[in-house]
Chains A and B, each alone.
Chain A
Amino acid sequence: DTEVTQTPKHLVMGMTNKKSLKCEQHMGHRAMYWYKQKAKKPPELMFVYSYEKLSINESVPSRFSPECPNSSLLNLHLHALQPEDSALYLCASSQARVSEKLFFGSGTQLSVL
């Protein structure tokens, strides 16, 4: 299994809602990532988990809260988002703490109203 699976594929939420994005991989990878991608822009790194510990937080606002319950799962909890947070949220994984060979999921297209 060489897939990174993200759910849901699409999400529409209001600014007062709480929602979660989920990501799962079964490749035995020990590093997992959240990226944010705006239209016609490259992905921007948000968080990195290495061996289930948060190793990089790119100064992301606290309305985004990551969680890594185990080595296969990664969640992104969303609360009180702003319309400018609308974007494609991508999960990725890599074998160890090696950034270069990232496997990306198809993403969650998030719209904040």
Chain B
Amino acid sequence: QKEVEQDPGPLSVPEGAIVSLNCTYSNSAFQYFMWYRQYSRKGPELLMYTYSSGNKEDGRFTAQVDKSSKYISLFIRDSQPSDSATYLCAMSESGANSKLTFGKGITLSVRP
């Protein structure tokens, strides 16, 4: 089993839809959970960052972490064509030499 699994997609939704993106993981030592957004031919951009379990909201975006189920989600409300991008989940342990472990990424297309 891979350390981080992410639905491969691609995903296509109409404008205004609610989008749910998910990742599961196997390493119980992961403490930090992130979502990165990557537009074509650009570097990833940190979208949401959560420490341990719980919810975090930023505008139209909500990140959820359920450590007991080893499951994280990103919800996008009122999706816009500008949300069309690849979304990567990423996780790391605490500690001086911790490294980010990325999911494979899912490409989202929001149709006008």
Contacts and interface: CB of A to CB of B under 8 A. Distances in A.
B37 to A, nearest CB: 11
Interface string A102-113: 111111010000
Contact of B99 (A45, A88, A109): A45
Interface residues of A, number: 23
B46 A103 contact: yes
Nearest to A6: B43
B34 interface: yes
A100 B43 contact: no
A70 interface: no
Contacts of A48: 99
Nearest to B51: A100
Contact of B32 (A43, A45, A92, A100): A100
Contacts of B100: 45, 99-100, 102
Contacts of B97: 55-56, 97
Contacts of B99: 45, 48, 56, 99
